[in-house]
Structure 1
Amino acid sequence: MSSSPVFDAKAFLASASSKPGVYRMFDADGELLYVGKAGNLKKRLSSYFRKTGLSPKTEALVARIQQIDTTITGNETEALLLEQSLIKANRPPYNILLRDDKSYPYVFLSSNDDFPRLGLHRGSKRAKGRYFGPYPSAGAIRESLNLLQKTFLVRQCEDSYYRNRTRPCLQYQIKRCKAPCVGLVDAAEYAEDVRHSVMFLEGRSNALNDELTAAMEKAATALDFERAAELRDQIALLRRVQDQQSIDTEQGSADIVAAAVAPGGACVHVIMVRNGRVLGSKNHFPRVPIEQQPGEVLAAFLPQYYLGSAEREVPAEIIVNAEHEDFAVITRALSEARGFNVSISPRVRGTRRRWQELASSNAEQSLASLLSNRQHVQQRFEALQQALQLDDMPTRLECYDISHSSGEATVASCVVFGPEGPIKSDYRRFNIEGVTAGDDYAAMHQALMRRFSRIKDGEGKMPDILLVDGGKGQMNMARDVLQELAIHDLTLVGVAKGVTRKAGMETLFLNTPDNELVLPGHSPALHLIQHIRDEAHRFAITGHRQRRGKARTSSSLEGIAGVGPKRRRELLKHFGGLQELKRASAAEIAKAPGISKKLAEQIYAVLHSD
């Protein structure tokens, strides 16, 4: 790659069009790296080659560009549609990719039967009948069908099975069906059960409850207590669902799409609301090559999700948890594709705000679960073994970081990871003393010396890999400690953030400062290193803040012989605070209750010792 000619961006941009269109970027081997769209191709492409202000993702992409092809379109909306087609067909590594081509399932109610059936349907809508949904997953549909089967006893068996029955099946025996196959229910009663099922599927739960309640009271008045009990049980089942569905409003249809991003991955959580009723939700984990912001993930996700399949329903409103400049173009494209106005709303209030918060919370929780999942972490450990070319898979990683404020309250952290994830019981903090303020190298040396001296003495376990957050200087300190303690069978990795100090652009030093290792931004091994590095940073900052806060809240009067808690309170009360006490002379301090002249001179000396 180093022998490849440098891409002549200046010559290319001189002839670039200013019209809207799509651009494709290729590397030296002709592999497609990235597909993008622009309202002004020349302006957008010029932004990639400016000298300053590029994001880490852009820098990594531009370094590999050897060829750019453009396609002019009639407008930016057409460019967006073409961009999504090219992304789906080619799956470029620098685009955010959604790996979900399946259509969503629906509840299907047949219309060409004397006794209609309810069932799960996925695919083209060719059969005659009504389709309710879409639902985010087959599991969500089965929950609704199970409830309807218990409540209204509408059949759900296949037509081939239904037409060949000569006696009731097990569903009739357990009171999940009224056996229309053998004529045990008349058409009018069955039609009423179907109508109630439709009301539920349409989201008219309150109206359905009112109707069933009125029917129950009428049956009780007529002394038909058996029928009244059946209606009572139906109402109880429906109310139980409404209790579980705490944000059921019986108005409003929207998709709520929330993105969460962390080192190692991204999650997009989609909640489907139809007629105010949440039909269910689904998690998506798009491939994110280099860490993005939630708005960037959503801007890439929404077109692929809604335009990638002609069968996917687009609601009139899409509520999101972040903003992005491309939402205006995406809105126009979705509106044109579906034939009605579609809005993307990042700022909402009331019920929609609760939906938004619910989706955001689910996205964050799902991403955290994925990253901490034992199998997922195991795969990242295996990837790290391959990246570092180790004979055996590591089972224990330790990472160290230093935190301080201009040298004040320096704290070193040690965090430990295993194939099962963070081992928090083995985390350690070290209060650093006796080093020059701000000397991170000396602080790292002290922390490692204290930690590994104890391990050599049999306290604690020796890690397989030692990671230090920092560049060559911190790594050399770690090497000195290991040599001084005669520890030789330990893999040492230095994690340097690079000039941009952005996640995804780290440079690794393996065992020596001369042995650099650069992993691609989507590497699971790099994600594991980012995860443990960020955890070490968090743990160090927390310890530093606690130590700094304790130092700043402690009184300078503490530690003076003869000045206990009671005298400190009296002194501060007499002078109205510590600042006034510091301004007082020794003679003035001696006038305070219970303070002798000798003690006053001692207090004065301590307060002015600096």
Structure 2
Amino acid sequence: MFPENVTESAPHAPGVYLMLDSRSTVLYVGKAKDLFKRLSSYARFSGAEHNKTTIMLSRVKKVDTIITSTEKEALILEASLIKKHRPKYNIILRDDKNYPYIRVTVEEEWPRVMMVRKKKRDNARYFGPFSSSSAMWATLKLISTLFPLRNCKGSRLKKRKRPCLNNQIGKCLAPCTGTADRKLYLEHVNNILLLLEGRNRDLTVRLKKKMLLAADRLQFEKAATLRDQISALSRTLEKQIISASHSRDQDVFGFARQGAAVTIAILFIRNGLLNGSRTFFISDSYGDDQSILAQALTQFYDMDAVPPGEILLPFSPADLQLIQAHFHDRTGKKSILKIPKRGDNLKLVAMADTNARQLFEEKEKKEKSWQGLCKAMEKKLHLKRIPEKIECLDISNIGGKQAVGSLVHFLKGEPDKRNFRHFRIKTVEGPDDYAMMREVLMRRLSRGIKEDNLPDLFMVDGGRGQLGMALAVAVELGITEELDWIGIAKEKKDEGEKLYKPGRKNPLLLRSHDPVLLYLMRIRDESHRYGITFHRKLRKKATITSELDAIPGIGEAKKKSLLRHMGSLKRIKTATVEELQEVKGIGTELAKEINSHFH
């Protein structure tokens, strides 16, 4: 079952092994203190026919090994290879959400606070990721109210004679006019950092001292402003949940299992306050609970997530000491991995375990809800098969230009964004939506036949005409009976949504609040959003390209430098000759040429 020659060349040394199938696809990545002993254990393995290890080993045709100097190096390499290859039999902490961060540009002369989706390798301060976007926006709103900083784009300030509207409504100190108090501005930045670090109480104490000092000096207007800031902070503190009797930073892991499925919940405690959580669902896990928890730890604390001073665990993971040493090397600080047996820490782990179990309950509720909706769709839409996989196509263009087809894929009631696709229209000139639809359908369905991944239900955005075009393509490809077809169109005179079926003269009319109709509308609206977003990007790119390409002496490299430095085409248009000369590669003559082109 296991390749016989594997153990012959395996060394008695630490390292990483990669199990590959007949197509050289990586099935599993593991590490070992002694590669020979670990691979020998696989060679001797004998389990039940349906055992997961038996099934995996039956597919292994080749094993590659990489020798490392130490077991710690093997741990780091294993995590890196799992992230790269995403093997089927390793646990992957998949999370479709892209959690936001708050970025404070402390490296700039006049720092800004903003929301970002990715951390850059720069000197800015990042806080997050925030598992609740509403909590993140509430924090940003509080910051802008209490401590007004500039929110204009660009790291460099453009000088203005008159301040913008933000200054007039008290949301900015207007450093662009040269009249802002720099000491006060940087004081606001420091207060914001205290707030984002969770040191709200320290900040409140600091503001109270300043308020009393301002009152003693008869600076009543300043004292009133500080009083309002303290009041707003106090209201925020009341909303936060105190979860510990200390002020340490902790991450608390919870773990639950049902059959082969595993859930992991992580609670984030900062300065004794619970300020967020993350959950992960692993539907088909391989390995025992100890090894799964070990992989979860090394994957979660990758190069972006930094281990806090204390990590509470429900049980001891595999390679506990090794993981702890790795975290110490990464941060330069000692991260303590604890398995509490009593007290408040045990209660926190119990809370995390409850969150992990709750995820199973949510999955079960969602599954029951989907089953009900699925049966209703089959009945009301007269479908021949269960509509677990639904795809919807939409065409976006303006007068035939920047034409794009957008295809969205829903799996069991939820968007499956890994299978969303954009199609650039290649063969159609001018505004011909039917021809564009035909091209995209031929490309998608031909590939679906080849790869055997056709949906159960294909939906087109439109009425009889669009549905007729889709069916014509299906007839040409010989797949009219391979899947169900439907068209969704909003008719005139506020008649609402109408559903068109092949072979049916009159449309299906469902009540406006019918769950089936609402679900189909959700899919259609998602295809609109997905298509229009990409279409706008193409249009914007074409506008920038055409306007800058019209200037003699501007090639690809200079175009990129201008956009990177200025931030937008609008900023380039309004820039002075002196400002343009600051861009790398733009000399005096070219700066004058650009300025005169736009003026």
Indicate conservation of the 8 Å contact 1:136/1:282, yes or no.
Answer: no
What's the CA shift for 1:94?
A: 0.9
- Report the Cα distance in structure 2 between the residues aligned to 1:25 and 1:379, rounded to whole angstroms: 41
CA RMSD of aligned residues (A): 4.1
1:47 corresponds in structure 2 to 41
What's the CA shift for 1:378?
A: 5.8
2:188 corresponds in structure 1 to 193
- Report the Cα distance in structure 2 between the residues aligned to 1:335 and 1:187, rounded to whole angstroms: 39
Indicate conservation of the 8 Å contact 1:260/1:363, yes or no.
Answer: yes
Indicate conservation of the 8 Å contact 1:371/1:377, yes or no.
Answer: no
Indicate conservation of the 8 Å contact 1:106/1:133, yes or no.
Answer: yes
- Report the Cα distance in structure 2 between the residues aligned to 1:165 and 1:278, rounded to whole angstroms: 43
What's the CA shift for 1:131?
A: 0.9
Q: 2:232 aligns with which of 233, 237, 240?
A: 237
Look up the SS of the partner of 1:347 in the other structure.
coil
Deviations 1:182-202 (A, max 9, x none): 467533333333332233233
2:198 corresponds in structure 1 to 203
Alignment of 1:299 onto 2:294: yes
1:71 corresponds in structure 2 to 66
Give aligned-pair identity as a percent: 33
Indicate conservation of the 8 Å contact 1:135/1:280, yes or no.
Answer: no
Indicate conservation of the 8 Å contact 2:16/2:74, yes or no.
Answer: yes
Look up the SS of the partner of 1:63 in the other structure.
helix
Letter in 1 for 2:314: N
What's the CA shift for 1:221?
A: 5.0
Indicate conservation of the 8 Å contact 1:209/1:235, yes or no.
Answer: yes
Q: How is 1:129-528 mapped onto 2 (pairs within 5 angstroms)? A: 130-137=124-131, 139=133, 141-159=136-154, 163=158, 165-182=160-177, 185-221=180-216, 224-247=219-242, 251-262=247-258, 265-285=261-281, 287-290=282-285, 295-307=290-302, 310-347=303-340, 352-353=345-346, 355-373=348-366, 377=370, 391-393=384-386
Letter in 2 for 1:123: K
- Report the Cα distance in structure 1 between the residues aligned to 2:171 and 2:183, rounded to whole angstroms: 18
Deviations 1:338-364 (A, max 9, x none): 444333223276554454344333333
Q: 1:99 aligns with which of 94, 99, 118?
A: 94
1:83 corresponds in structure 2 to 78
- Report the Cα distance in structure 2 between the residues aligned to 1:317 and 1:55, rounded to whole angstroms: 40
2:511 corresponds in structure 1 to none
What's the CA shift for 1:16?
A: 4.2
Q: 1:110 aligns with which of 106, 123, 126?
A: 106
What's the CA shift for 1:93?
A: 0.9
- Report the Cα distance in structure 1 between the residues aligned to 2:266 and 2:194, rounded to whole angstroms: 24
Look up the SS of the partner of 1:70 in the other structure.
strand
What's the CA shift for 1:53?
A: 9.2
- Indicate how the Cα distance of structure 1 residues 106 and 266 shifts in structure 2: closer, same or farther if over 3 A, else same: farther
Indicate conservation of the 8 Å contact 1:203/1:276, yes or no.
Answer: no
- Indicate how the Cα distance of structure 1 residues 75 and 364 shifts in structure 2: closer, same or farther if over 3 A, else same: same
- Report the Cα distance in structure 2 between the residues aligned to 1:270 and 1:185, rounded to whole angstroms: 43
Look up the SS of the partner of 1:68 in the other structure.
strand
Q: Which has the higher contact order (CA 8 A, sep 6+)?
A: 1
- Report the Cα distance in structure 1 between the residues aligned to 2:225 and 2:86, rounded to whole angstroms: 55
What's the CA shift for 1:206?
A: 1.9
- Report the Cα distance in structure 2 between the residues aligned to 1:184 and 1:194, rounded to whole angstroms: 18
What's the CA shift for 1:100?
A: 5.5
Look up the SS of the partner of 2:241 in the other structure.
coil
Alignment of 1:25 onto 2:19: yes
Look up the SS of the partner of 1:37 in the other structure.
strand
**Which has the higher mean CA deviation after the structures are superposed, 221-230 or 89-98?**
221-230
Look up the SS of the partner of 1:110 in the other structure.
coil
- Report the Cα distance in structure 2 between the residues aligned to 1:376 and 1:326, rounded to whole angstroms: 41
- Report the Cα distance in structure 2 between the residues aligned to 1:210 and 1:322, rounded to whole angstroms: 40
- Report the Cα distance in structure 2 between the residues aligned to 1:289 and 1:259, rounded to whole angstroms: 15
Deviations 1:560-605 (A, max 9, x none): xxxxxxxxxxxxxxxxxxxxxxxxxxxxxxxxxxxxxxxxxxxxxx
Look up the SS of the partner of 2:29 in the other structure.
strand
- Report the Cα distance in structure 1 between the residues aligned to 2:292 and 2:369, rounded to whole angstroms: 21
Look up the SS of the partner of 2:149 in the other structure.
coil
- Indicate how the Cα distance of structure 1 residues 319 and 143 shifts in structure 2: closer, same or farther if over 3 A, else same: farther
Deviations 1:121-146 (A, max 9, x none): 5332335xx51434345835433322
Letter in 1 for 2:229: Q
Indicate conservation of the 8 Å contact 2:2/2:57, yes or no.
Answer: no
1:550 corresponds in structure 2 to none
2:469 corresponds in structure 1 to none
Indicate conservation of the 8 Å contact 2:6/2:39, yes or no.
Answer: no
What's the CA shift for 1:80?
A: 1.6
Look up the SS of the partner of 2:59 in the other structure.
coil
TM-score (norm 2): 0.54
- Indicate how the Cα distance of structure 1 residues 80 and 381 shifts in structure 2: closer, same or farther if over 3 A, else same: farther
TM-score (norm 1): 0.53
- Indicate how the Cα distance of structure 1 residues 381 and 73 shifts in structure 2: closer, same or farther if over 3 A, else same: farther
Deviations 1:383-427 (A, max 9, x none): xx9xxxx942189xxxxxxxxxxxxxxxxxxxxxxx899xxxxxx
Q: 2:121 aligns with which of 125, 140, 145?
A: 125
- Report the Cα distance in structure 1 between the residues aligned to 2:320 and 2:222, rounded to whole angstroms: 54
Gaps (5+ residues) in structure 2? 389-411, 415-599
What's the CA shift for 1:276?
A: 4.1
Indicate conservation of the 8 Å contact 2:99/2:131, yes or no.
Answer: no
- Report the Cα distance in structure 2 between the residues aligned to 1:32 and 1:200, rounded to whole angstroms: 45
Letter in 2 for 1:306: Y
Letter in 1 for 2:181: D
- Report the Cα distance in structure 2 between the residues aligned to 1:27 and 1:380, rounded to whole angstroms: 39
Indicate conservation of the 8 Å contact 1:104/1:312, yes or no.
Answer: no
Deviations 1:438-491 (A, max 9, x none): xxxxxxxxxxxxxxxxxxxxxxxxxxxxxxxxxxxxxxxxxxxxxxxxxxxxxx
- Indicate how the Cα distance of structure 1 residues 83 and 194 shifts in structure 2: closer, same or farther if over 3 A, else same: closer
- Report the Cα distance in structure 2 between the residues aligned to 1:57 and 1:68, rounded to whole angstroms: 18
Look up the SS of the partner of 1:96 in the other structure.
coil
- Indicate how the Cα distance of structure 1 residues 169 and 336 shifts in structure 2: closer, same or farther if over 3 A, else same: same
2:29 corresponds in structure 1 to 35
- Report the Cα distance in structure 1 between the residues aligned to 2:347 and 2:214, rounded to whole angstroms: 40
Indicate conservation of the 8 Å contact 1:216/1:227, yes or no.
Answer: yes
2:571 corresponds in structure 1 to none
- Report the Cα distance in structure 1 between the residues aligned to 2:72 and 2:87, rounded to whole angstroms: 21
- Report the Cα distance in structure 2 between the residues aligned to 1:220 and 1:83, rounded to whole angstroms: 61
- Indicate how the Cα distance of structure 1 residues 335 and 211 shifts in structure 2: closer, same or farther if over 3 A, else same: closer
